[in-house]
Amino acid sequence: MNGFKIMLDAYKKADISEEERRRYIRIYEFLSECDDHDFCYLFDSTAFNEICMSYVRKAVARLVDNEVIDEEQARSVRNEVSALFSDMRAEEVL
């Protein structure tokens, strides 16, 4: 049993609204059938790029705030990650 099947079982019993339960069940049923290649295809679909870039922006902002890197370095990191999304498939990065 993979982690998604465990989550699926938990959401089937969770004390949440029926709408939330329906959504979680639909998502975790799908994810529980995916393999590593499927996850790469999902990632390559660009569905998650904005979420990933938001994490990168947050991380870089923390580094700038803590004076670990300067703004020019931060911009370089953001640009490089953005270019990697365009230039490489998920399986190549892994």
pLDDT tens digit string along 31-57?
A: 999 999 999 999 999 899 999 999 999
Q: How many CB atoms lie within 10 A of CB 60?
A: 20
CA angle 61, 62, 67 (to 5 degrees): 95
Burial of 10 (0-12, 13-18, 19+ CB in 10 A): exposed
pLDDT at residue 43, rounded to an integer: 93
Q: How far is CA 53 from CA 7, 12, 47, 60, in A?
A: 26, 32, 12, 10
Confidence of residue 2 (pLDDT cuts 50, 70, 90): confident
pLDDT at residue 1, rounded to an integer: 54
Q: pTM, whole model, 2 decimals?
A: 0.77
- C-beta separation of 64 from 70 below 8 A: yes
pLDDT tens digit string along 57-90?
A: 999 999 999 999 999 999 999 999 999 999 999 9
